[in-house]
Chains A and B, each alone.
Chain A
Amino acid sequence: MTVTASKTMDRASGSGGTRPEERLLALDVQDEHLTFTAAGTWAGERGRELDQLTSAPLGGISPPKIVDIDLRGVERLDMLGAWLLERLFRHYTVGGSKVRFVGLPERYRGLLEQVHDVNQQMPSPRSQTHRLLNAFEAFGRMGVGIKDAFLVFVSMLGMLGCAAARALRRPKEFRLTSVVHHLYRVGWQAVPIVLLITFLIGCIIAQQGIFHFRKFGADAYVVDMVGILVLREIGVLIVSIMVAGRSGSAYTAELGSMKMREEIDALRTMGFDPIDVLVLPRVIALLCALPVLAFMGSMAALYGGGLVAWLYGGMSPAIFIARLKEAISITHFEVGMIKAPFMALAIGMIACSEGLRVKGSAESLGLQTTTSVVKSIFVVIVLDGVFAMFFASIGM
């Protein structure tokens, strides 16, 4: 009986090989003696054809006694080809056949010997777990993750408190230069973008207010809305979110890459606490900068609101200011400004603790930076809600 694997050959030769007529693997069966004849290029570029040819060479025929693999026609053999030959070899050896390589070119002997030792332990197939169980596991892990995040936050607060106490006890060791440097970066350099964005937000609020209040003839009340909304909520909230995105992410990325390059370990070995040297100055800079930015942002938003009220709503600046004086009191301003340092503390602490949690890889740096920004914005908004309830209950 003589069978040639011609059907497989046709499929192989059709897919853009170098020589379409070349037969990579032919099979000859005589009773219990199998002969494979390999020829042509046994290398990476013919990988898929070779893989298919050698994966299921014979189905349903009882294991032969002798298998010869004739390699005389092989022009080029690389590790892929060698591994496939080795796989064929193992397939029949396991089945109890005697496998021989015939006509192996001398230059490829070392290569075949080398692949003979590899892949001896094939991976155990991954255990299939229950989908529902996986969902429960993910849910449980999420809960633990939230607990861990809370613990990280609290421990950072504690470490910062200790660092601040040390700085108060020994003011000479406090890093003022570093604070000023960070103040310049997160405060001064952030002024233009903060002013621009809050100005635009003020304009939009005023425009929307005038547009809709006009239907009830209440467009004069737009001044109350702009004033109270900006001073109590929007000013500090928008600025905090911007600072979280702009400066919080920078803190995380800086500390994270310092962690990756072992700079933080170096600091520790020299006897410095990274919290003192790196975190405290950054958080203090943020604590100073955010209230100032929030104040400037509120003023820019009021200015924008006034400008739109004048140009779009036809309300002269003098009337706008007079109505503003009536509508708002110092309490509104206080409510807004009291929140700013708390927002700053939350952003600074989250950003720095996420930075210190970065591990060795670039991916972890990206992940931690994303987490830092997402968490900071979330916490800022939650804090704002908590403050709103607090001030409402004390009647401010």
Chain B
Amino acid sequence: MAATTEPEVIHVRDLVVGFGKQTVLDHLSLDVHRGEILGLVGASGGGKSVLLRSIIGLIPKRQGRIEVLGMDLDQTTDQTARSVGRRWGILFQLGALFSSLTVRENVQFPMRENLDLSESLLYELATAKLEIVGLSAEDGDKFPAELSGGMTKRAALARSLALDPEIVFLDEPTSGLDPIAAGEFDRLIRTLQQTLGLTVFMVTHDLDSLHTVCDRVAALADGRIVAAGSIESMLECEHPWVRAYFRGRRARMPVPRLN
């Protein structure tokens, strides 16, 4: 496959995105390499989610170029755009599970639409994905409204993995979870990234997540990426916002990395 030769799975150049008179992203450039976990940090309301949504094509851009898996989504037909869409999975901040379907049906939904599979195999696969993210087969029969916060995140992760994507976008995966659950979720992401060979693009606020699972961190401030690199290089960065974030009162000693 041609995709394995190019190292950057997401390639963003000079991206400008805004709403009305406000410019949220101002000539932003960012690369995500194959097989890494990239953590994106930034102030609340600073455009992290906007960047994620522009990359997956939910928000139109004003200028610039975005290539995902070597394809510029603006210049492809709907057909190719859809086929690229099958190669990524998205975990929305609030899960975005379809409330009228059970958890298992939620996971089956992308498979049912995109793949030609028998009903029994769909059942087995959906249960397999649920168990891999740490839910039980019985949880599959519940409706999203009956799940706790952590279970919702896990179910949403299982759905984002339904089509065995190459890239997974996670929008604040650990927000709203207690530190233990958040730590477990981080470990889960790390394990899945290693066994499934995923590239993970993670928007997060969680310093622990950044320390433990992210291979690389990108800091978004003033509408552009002001620093990108390992967590150690972040600690040395002199940009005032990055300094305040990584060396502020709430930042603490690095936790040992998971591997």
Contacts and interface: CB of A to CB of B under 8 A. Distances in A.
Interface of A: 43-45, 47-48, 51, 76, 78-80, 83-84, 87, 107, 110-111, 113-115, 117-119, 121, 123, 359-364
Given A48-B116, A51-B117, A123-B137, A83 B195 contact: no
Contacts of A119: 124, 127-128, 131, 137
Main secondary structure on B side of the interface with A: helix
A51 B143 contact: no
B121 interface: yes
Interface residues of B, number: 31
A111 B137 contact: no
29 contacts: A44-B111, A44-B114, A44-B163, A47-B117, A48-B116, A48-B117, A51-B117, A78-B164, A79-B161, A79-B164, A79-B196, A80-B125, A83-B125, A110-B195, A111-B196, A113-B195, A114-B191, A114-B195, A115-B132, A117-B131, A118-B128, A118-B132, A119-B128, A121-B137, A123-B123, A361-B99, A361-B100, A361-B145, A363-B100
Interface in B192-238: 194-197
B115 A47 contact: yes
Given A44-B114, A361-B145, A79 B128 contact: yes
Given A47-B117, A80-B121, A83-B128, 18 more contacts: A44-B114, A44-B115, A44-B117, A47-B121, A51-B117, A51-B121, A79-B125, A79-B161, A80-B125, A83-B125, A110-B194, A110-B195, A114-B132, A114-B195, A115-B128, A118-B131, A121-B137, A360-B143
A319 B150 CA distance: 76
Contacts of B118: 48, 51
B185 to A, nearest CB: 17
Interface string B105-119: 000000100111110
Secondary structure class of chain A's binding surface, majority of residues: helix
Contacts of A115: 128, 132
The 5 closest A-B pairs by CB, nearest first: A360-B145, A110-B195, A361-B99, A363-B100, A78-B164
Given A51-B117, A79-B164, A361 B143 contact: yes
B144 interface: yes
Contacts of A364: 145
Nearest to B129: A79
Nearest to B140: A123
Nearest to B163: A44
A315 B137 CA distance: 76
A362 B100 contact: yes
Contact of B127 (A43, A78, A118): A118
Contacts of B132: 79, 114-115, 118
B99 A362 contact: yes
A115 B197 CA distance: 15
A358 B116 CA distance: 36
Nearest to A110: B195
B242 to A, nearest CB: 34
Given A45-B115, A48-B116, A359 B127 contact: no
Contacts of B161: 79
A17 to B, nearest CB: 11
A243 to B, nearest CB: 29
Nearest to B123: A123
